[in-house]
Amino acid sequence: MRLLGMQPKGFRCCAKNVGIKDTSLDFTVITSDVPAAAAAMFTRNSFCGPAITVGREHVRDGRLQAFVINSKNANVATGEQGLANVREVVRLVAEELSITPEDILPSSTGVIGRQLPMERLRQGIAGIQQQLRYGHLEQAAQAIMTTDTYPKMHCCRVGNATLVGIAKGVGMIEPDMATMLAYFMTDASLTPEQLHTILKDAVDDSFNMVSVDTDTSTSDTVAIMANGLAGEVNLADFQQALRDMCVRLARELARDGEGATKLIEVTVKNALDGQQAKRVAKSIVNSPLVKAAIFGADPNWGRIAMAIGKCYEQDTIVPEKTDIAFGYIPVYHRGLAMDEGHLSALKNYLRRDEISINVSLGLGDQQARVWGCDLSYDYVKINGTYTS
Q: What's the whole-model pTM score?
A: 0.88
To the query of whether residue 216 is one of the catalytic residues in this protein, the response is no
Instruction: Pick the closest to residue 311 from 350, 272, 345 (CA basis).
Output: 272
Q: Is the pLDDT of residue 216 over 70?
A: no
* Distance in angstroms (rounded) separating the CA atoms of residues 320 and 361: 9
Residue 2: the pLDDT is 45
Percent above pLDDT 70 for the chain: 93
Residue 43: the pLDDT is 81
List the domains of the chain with CATH numbers: 11-255 (3.60.70.12), 263-384 (3.10.20.340)
Q: pLDDT tens, 245-298?
A: 999 999 998 888 777 899 999 999 999 999 999 999 999 999 999 999 999 999
Q: Is the pLDDT of residue 387 over 80?
A: no
Q: Is 342 helix (H, G, I), strand (E, B) or coil?
A: helix
Q: Is 388 annotated as a binding residue?
A: yes
Q: Is 146 annotated as a binding residue?
A: yes
CB 27 within 8 A of CB 69: yes
Percent above pLDDT 90 for the chain: 73
Find all residues with CB under 8 Å of 149, minimum gap 6, and list them: 170, 256
Q: pLDDT tens, 79-122?
A: 999 999 999 999 999 999 999 999 999 999 988 889 999 999 99
Q: Which of 31, 78, 109, 179 is catalytic?
A: 179
Residue 58: the pLDDT is 98
CB hemisphere CA count around 41 (13 angstroms): 22
How sure is the predictor about 177, in pLDDT bands with cuts at 50, 70 and 90?
very low
Q: Is 191 annotated as a binding residue?
A: no
Name the amino acid, one letter, at 38.
A
CB 53 within 8 A of CB 82: no
Average pLDDT over residues 179-205: 94
Q: Is 291 annotated as a binding residue?
A: no
Three-state SS for 36-75 is EEEEEEECCCCCCCHHHHHHHHHHCCCEEEEEEEECCECC
Q: Is 316 annotated as a binding residue?
A: no
* Distance in angstroms (rounded) separating the CA atoms of residues 186 and 202: 15
The kind and range of the H/E element at 228 are strand 221-232
The kind and range of the H/E element at 119 are helix 118-125
Q: Is 16 annotated as a binding residue?
A: no
Which of these ranges, 93-97, 331-335, 356-360, has the smallest mean pLDDT? 331-335
Q: Is 353 helix (H, G, I), strand (E, B) or coil?
A: coil
